[in-house]
Amino acid sequence: MTALIEYTGNLRCTAKHVQSGTMIETDAPTDNHGKGERFSPTDTLSMALATCMLTTMGIKIASMEDISIDGATAEVTKHMASNPRRVAAIDVVVNLPEQKDEKTREILMNIGNNCPVAKSLHPDIQLNIQYNWVKS
């Protein structure tokens, strides 16, 4: 079992990661009867994409010398659609430390674009991914 989820009332859930005991609370968004005081389930979906991108990049570069993405950030914006209500698009702006060559940049972008979450999302969800190379 990966997680144990409890509906705690008032449109909120608590999810417990079974292996670590870490907890995440969710709340319905303000545009769907919630208070918007926690990540919504669709927020966590969008967040999962960005964290998966950065995590898989970190896994790949762990075996590469002289490459670091420490301090990398990602900005995520989700776009909802209705009829049926769903995530229509996810914008991700990935800010990575400047890399020494184009090959390294291409490797990192390929890893991000093909992370497990990106490959698990329905193809109707439009992914708008931008990479920025930031000088330290």
Radius of gyration of the chain measured on its C-alpha atoms: 17
Q: For residues 104 and 129, state if they share a domain.
A: yes
Task: Identify whether residues 1 and 53 lie together within a single domain.
Answer: no
* 86 vs 53: CA distance, rounded Å: 22
Is there a single domain that holds both residue 60 and residue 110? yes
In the DSSP assignment, the letter for residue 32 is: G
What is the structure's pLDDT at 100?
84
| Number of folded domains that form the chain | 2
Are residue 121 and residue 104 in the same domain, yes or no?
yes
Helices marked H in the chain — which ranges?
41-61, 102-113, 116-120
**Cβ atoms 97, 70 nearer than 8 A:** yes
Residues 62 and 117 in one domain: yes
Q: Tens digits of per-residue pLDDT, 110-129?
A: 999 999 999 999 999 999 99
Model confidence at 89, pLDDT cuts 50, 70, 90, reads very high
Same domain, 25 and 35: yes
CATH of the domain at 113: 3.30.300.20
Same domain for 69 and 119, yes or no, is yes
What's the Cα-to-Cα distance from 15 to each of 1, 26, 29, 120, rounded to whole Å?
12, 8, 17, 21
pTM exceeds 0.75: yes
Question: Do both 22 and 82 map to the same domain?
Answer: no
Sheet containing 12-17: give its strands across: 3-9, 12-17, 23-27
Mean pLDDT of 16-38: 96
